[in-house]
Structure 1
Amino acid sequence: MDEKRAKHLGLMVVVASWLAVFCLFGFRSTFSVLQVPMSTSLHWQASQLTLAYSLMMTVYAVTAYFTGMIIDKWGTRPAYFLGSVCCGLGYLITSFSQSYLGYVLPYAIFAGVGTGMLWVSSTVSVRKWYVGDAYATMWGWAFMGAPVAQVVLSLAAKQVIKTTDWRIAMRGLSVVMFVALVIAGIVAKKNPQDYSLEPFGKVKGRVSKNESKQWTIGQAFS
């Protein structure tokens, strides 16, 4: 494979990771925006609403473990596609909730599984394609999705709530999450070894197995 094609594959991995981080942090940041109108509309206390968020983060943590197993075997694409469905359903089903359980269960389960598919997949995929000095740069680009989501999605949700209500805002967010993660799944690539490629970048200070580093006493304790 020529170098231009290889670099293109690596950049697509970063794009997919950017979208995953965008959705993950968008999910987290919009909760605070939706919480107040939900409390007013459904007459629930803040502690009741945040319980679902806490349960969602618990499911997120458990899912993250299994996500790593999926990535090791099949790459990030299945994780992104599963995340698109679960994140979309997390918002969509919750937007129709009338009872407390009707809110807690879909949000905790679907949103938890959906977001749990994103963090490990986004970080590990970039790490597999870029090492050393290249990894810091490329992960920096990918992580830009986080602040962009916190600004854009939070402001967009606020504007929708002003003109309609929180249910419409959630349905809009479900579409955003689904579309963004489907795109991430489409552009995502397998590990570089599957394309007979090596990760981009150089690891500074690496010593070969056949070489030994000679230290003076002063260097060892400096």
Structure 2
Amino acid sequence: MEQSTYRRYSWQSIGAAWLALFCFIGFGVTFVALRGPLAAEMRWTEGELSMAFAIMMASCALSALLGGVAVDAYGARPAFAAAAVMGFLGCLLGTLTTSASAYAMAFGIPAGVATGLMWVGAAVSVRDWLRGRQFGAAWGIAFLGAPVAQLFLSSLLETMGWATGMRVFGFLVLALMGAAAALAHKAPPREEAEADWTFRETVMSYPFWGLVIALFASVVAEFVIWAQVVNFALVAFVSLFTIPLAGVASDYLVKRFGREPEARKAMLVIGAGFGILACVLFLFTDDRLAFTIASAVAFALYWAVEVGGAIGYAASVFGRRALGRIWGLVALLCVGIAPGVGAFFGTYMPDASWDISTRVLYALGGFVTSALAAATLPVVAPEHRVKRTMESAAAMR
């Protein structure tokens, strides 16, 4: 493949991932923004509405795992096309229901399937075309779709009724994910010296489960804090600057260390460290305004670093052979389960003795656990995995 073609495909893949992450976060933003008008008009309780979100998250987790199989085999384009259709149907069908249970199923299942495909497709799409010292900056550009969705959709939907808002977002998903499917490309051939783990080898290894523990603990802690004290809009605004800067910084570490797994591991530890900083600021800062600003910056840095570090570590250690399935399983555990655990301890913990400070201490423990787990991760893939790739490539010549 010519260098100019490769460069064009790389930028198109970044654009496709940006659109996918915009829509991925957009579903959560849309649900939150329209929850009040929906409850008021339909007279549904908070618990009934929460059921729809829970079903969406569960469907997202399962879709990410199954979608990873398709992404590994066929690339991100079919996944994005399916996400466009399912996301549109979820928004449209949700507006046609008259009961909370019907809404939960009609909206939650298609929307969950769509978001799972978006999440896995975006990660694999970027990593397939940009690796090593290029991945961090590329992921930083793609991940900007998330805070842009938070800021843009919150402003757009607050002036609309819930049914109109859902239809508008549904058509937006159809258009943007259709464009993402057109931009996406199947992965180029794997490189000779690239790690080549199978899915079975990966899930039987400590690097995988160490990564899951690190990410799971940080996501639980993150959602404890989200439920308490963090200003979403402020975090999203600050993230417009911290996300690309974090990507560039992570690529600098790759150059500095000379080994990508070591740099991505360092970013996981640093990301958890920013979460620890936010918790400490809350516990020891009496000025609420100062805390709001400082914690927003700390969480924006955490948000910018953690996910990219996890994807980069997984891809640099295990290779791209089964990356869709690997990241899908990570999503099943860390997107499907961890947010619910964190939200439970952050909001629904029935023990009245759990005041906000106690919950923040719980979050602090989660971030410390994440940092310790990340610190134990190995930094080099076993040599026989790489050697097998090189031997296979030589045999094909």
TM-score bracket for the superposition, by shorter chain length: 0.7 to 0.9
Return the offset for 1:102. Answer: 2.2
| Residue type of the alignment partner of 1:180 | L
One-letter amino acid of the structure 1 residue matched with residue 86 of structure 2: C
Counterpart of 2:81 in structure 1 is 81
- Within a 5 Å distance, the mapping from 1:8-27 to structure 2 comes to 8-27=8-27
State the one-letter code of the partner of 1:17.
A
Q: Deviations along 1:4-34, whole A, 9 cap, x unmatched?
A: 1210011000000000000000111121111
Output the CA distance in 1 between the equivalents of 2:29 and 2:14. 22
Work out whether 1:176 is the aligned partner of 2:172: yes
Query: Partners in 2 of 1:186 and 1:124 — Cα distance?
Result: 16
CA contact (8 A) 2:55 2:105 kept: no
**What is residue 390 of structure 2 aligned with on the other side?**
none
Aligned to 2:61: 61
Instruction: Encode CA deviations 1:162-190: one digit per residue, 9 max, x unaligned.
Output: xxx21111111100001000000011111
Q: Which residue of 2 aligns with 1:167?
A: 163
Whole-angstrom distance in 2 between the partners of 1:61 and 1:190: 23
**Residue type of the alignment partner of 1:191:** A
If asked which structure has higher relative contact order (CA below 8 Å, sep 6+), I would say 1
Secondary structure (helix, strand or coil) at the match of 1:189 reads coil
Pick from 183, 186, 189 the counterpart of residue 190 of structure 1: 186
What is aligned with 1:146?
Answer: 146
Percent identity over the alignment is 35
Alpha-carbon separation, structure 1, partners of 2:184 and 2:72: 14
Give the letter for the 1:51 counterpart: M
SS at match of 1:150: helix
Aligned residue identity for 2:66: F
Cα distance in 1 for residues equivalent to 2:70 and 2:44:
38
Residue aligned with 1:192, SS: coil
Question: How far off is 1:79 after superposition?
Answer: 0.3
Q: Does the 8 A contact of 1:26 with 1:154 survive in 2?
A: no
C-alpha distance after superposition, 1:167-215 (max 9, x if no partner): 1111111000010000000111110129x9x99x9964259x7xxxxxx
Deviation at 1:119, TM superposition (A): 0.6
Superposed CA RMSD in Å reads 2.2
Q: Please state how far the C-alpha of 1:153 moved relative to its aligned partner.
A: 1.2
Which runs of structure 1 show a deviation greater than 3 angstroms over 4 or more consecutive aligned residues?
Answer: 201-204
Task: Please tell me the residue identity of whatever aligns with 1:75.
Answer: G
Partner of 2:28: 28
User: How far apart are the structure 1 equivalents of 2:60 and 2:6?
Assistant: 33
The residue type paired with residue 84 of structure 1 is A
CA distance in 2, matches of 1:74, 1:13: 14
Tell whether the 8 Å contact from 2:91 to 2:111 is kept in structure 1 after alignment.
yes
Quick one: distance in 2 between partners of 1:107 and 1:5?
A: 40
Whichever residue aligns with residue 170 of structure 1, its letter is M
User: Is the contact made by 1:35 and 1:49 (CA closer than 8 Å) also made in structure 2?
Assistant: yes
Count residues in correspondence: 202
Q: Letter of the aligned partner of 2:162 in structure 1?
A: W
Counterpart in the other structure of 1:219: none
1:81-120 → structure 2 map (5 Å cutoff): 81-120=81-120
For structure 1, the residue ranges without an aligned partner over 5 or more in a row are 210-222
Partner amino acid, structure 1, of 2:41: S
Q: Does structure 1 conserve the Cα–Cα contact (< 8 Å) formed by 2:39 and 2:45?
A: yes
Distance 2:125 2:141 in 1: 13
* Aligned partner of residue 193 in structure 1, secondary structure: coil
List per-residue Cα deviations over 1:106-132 (Å, max 9, x = no partner).
112111111111111101111121112
What is the CA–CA distance in structure 2 between the aligned matches of 1:108 and 1:172, rounded to whole Å? 17
Is contact 1:13–1:189 with CA below 8 Å preserved after alignment? yes
Tell me if the contact between 1:83 and 1:115 (Cα under 8 Å) persists in the aligned partners.
Answer: yes
Measure the CA separation in 2 of the matches of 1:5 and 1:125. Answer: 16
Q: Whole-Å Cα distance in 2 between the matches of residues 134 and 7 of structure 1?
A: 12
* 1:67 Cα deviation from its structure 2 partner: 1.0
The yes-or-no answer on 1:123 pairing with 2:123 is: yes
Q: TM-score if structure 2 supplies the norm length?
A: 0.49
